[in-house]
Amino acid sequence: MSPEVDAEVEAPTAVETPWRRLDVRMLVVGPLGSLGRLLPVIVILLITGQGDVTRLWVALAVALLVVLAGVVRWRTTRYRITAERVELHSGWLKRQRRSVPRDRIRTVDLTAKLLHRAFGLSTVQVSSASKAVADASGQLSLDAVSKAEADLLRRELLDRSPASDAAPTSPAVAAGPSPAQELARLDWSWLRYAPLTFSSLAGIGAIGATAFNLVDDLGVDPRDIGAVDAAAERLGSAPVWLAVLVVVTVVLALAVVGALLLFAERWYDYLLTREPAGWGAGSGTLRVKRGLLTRRSLSVSEDRLRGAEIIEPLLLRAGRGAQCRALSSGLPGDAQGGALQPPAPRAEAHRVASVALREHPSQITEATLRRHPRAALTRRMTRALMPTAVLVAVAFVLGSVLPPVAWLGPWSLLLVPVAVFLGFDRYRNLGHELTARYLVSRQGSAVRQTVALQRTGVIGWTFRQSIFQRRSGLVALEAVTAAGQGGYTVLDVAAQDAVALADAATPHLLTPFLLRA
Partner 1 sequence: MSTVAPTQLPLRPPAHQVSPRAVRWWQLRAALALLFVVTPQVVVLLVMGGDAPGWLAVTAGVTAAPIAAYGILVPPILYRIHRWEITDDAVYTMSGWLVREWRIAPISRVQTVDTAHGPLQQLLKLASVTVTTASAKGPVTINGLDAKDAAELARTLTVTTQATPGDAT
From residue 99 to residue 128, the character string flagging contacts with partner 1 as x (rule: CB under 8 A) and all else as - is ----xx------------------------
Closest approach, Cβ 383 to partner 1, in A, equals 14
Phi and psi torsions of 458, nearest 5°? -80, 120
By CB under 8 A, is residue 504 in contact with partner 1? no
Q: Which of 112, 126, 422, 499 binds partner 1 (CB under 8 A)?
A: 499
Closest approach, Cβ 232 to partner 1, in A, equals 45
Closest approach, Cβ 128 to partner 1, in A, equals 9
By CB under 8 A, is residue 513 in contact with partner 1? yes
Cβ closest to partner 1, residue 16 vs residue 135: 135
| Residue numbers 288-347 binding partner 1 by CB under 8 A | 304, 329
By CB under 8 A, is residue 259 in contact with partner 1? no
Q: Which of 133, 196, 430, 451 binds partner 1 (CB under 8 A)?
A: 133
By CB under 8 A, is residue 276 in contact with partner 1? no
Long-range contacts of 204-207 (CB under 8 A, 24+ apart): 204/254, 204/255, 204/258, 204/259, 204/262, 207/258, 207/262
Cβ closest to partner 1, residue 377 vs residue 502: 502
By CB under 8 A, is residue 466 in contact with partner 1? yes
By CB under 8 A, is residue 452 in contact with partner 1? no
Q: Which of 321, 328, 278 is nearest to 303 (CA)?
A: 328
3-state secondary structure 286-354: EEEEECCCCEEEEEEEHHHEEEEEEEEEHHHHHCCEEEEEEEECCCCCCCCCCECCCCEEHHHHHHHHH
Among 22-30, 307-315, 444-452, 493-501, the segment contacting partner 1 (CB under 8 A): 493-501
Among 63-71, 79-87, 405-413, 509-517, the segment contacting partner 1 (CB under 8 A): 509-517
Beta bridge partners of 487: 480
Cβ closest to partner 1, residue 115 vs residue 494: 494
Give, in order, the Cα–Cα distances in Å from 495 to each of 140, 486, 492.
Answer: 43, 22, 8
Instruction: Give the HSE-up count for residue 156: Cα atoms under 13 Å, Cβ half-sphere.
Output: 26
Q: Which of 259, 384, 430, 482 binds partner 1 (CB under 8 A)?
A: 482
By CB under 8 A, is residue 132 in contact with partner 1? yes
By CB under 8 A, is residue 80 in contact with partner 1? no
Our CA dihedral for 261, 264, 265, 271, rounded to 10 degrees, sits at 170
Q: How far apart are CA 35 and CA 407, in angstroms?
A: 54
Cβ closest to partner 1, residue 133 vs residue 311: 133
Among 74-82, 273-281, 446-454, 478-486, the segment contacting partner 1 (CB under 8 A): 478-486
Q: Are 119 and 195 in contact (CB under 8 A)?
A: no
* Residue 324: how many other CB atoms lie within 10 Å: 30
**Could you give the angle at the alpha carbon of 402 between the alpha carbons of 398 and 405, nearest 5°?**
75
By CB under 8 A, is residue 374 in contact with partner 1? no
Closest approach, Cβ 135 to partner 1, in A, equals 9
Among 80-88, 292-300, 385-393, 487-495, the segment contacting partner 1 (CB under 8 A): 487-495
Q: Are 257 and 201 in contact (CB under 8 A)?
A: no
Phi and psi torsions of 78, nearest 5°? -140, 150
Among 11-19, 251-259, 382-390, 480-488, the segment contacting partner 1 (CB under 8 A): 480-488
By CB under 8 A, is residue 506 in contact with partner 1? yes
Cβ closest to partner 1, residue 409 vs residue 473: 473
Closest approach, Cβ 129 to partner 1, in A, equals 5
Q: How far apart are CA 502 and CA 509, in angstroms?
A: 9
By CB under 8 A, is residue 461 in contact with partner 1? yes
Give, in order, the Cα–Cα distances in Å from 89 to each of 21, 301, 383.
Answer: 10, 25, 52
By CB under 8 A, is residue 501 in contact with partner 1? no
Q: Which of 30, 186, 49 is nearest to 123 (CA)?
A: 30
| Sheet containing 305-313, strands listed edge to edge, beginning at the edge strand earlier in sequence | 344-345, 321-328, 305-313, 447-454, 438-443, 431-434
Give, in order, the Cα–Cα distances in Å from 80 to each of 12, 99, 204, 254.
Answer: 14, 10, 41, 47
List interacting residues with partner 1 (CB under 8 A): 103-104, 129, 131-133, 304, 329, 459-467, 470-473, 475, 478, 480-482, 485-487, 494-496, 498-499, 502, 506, 508-510, 512-517
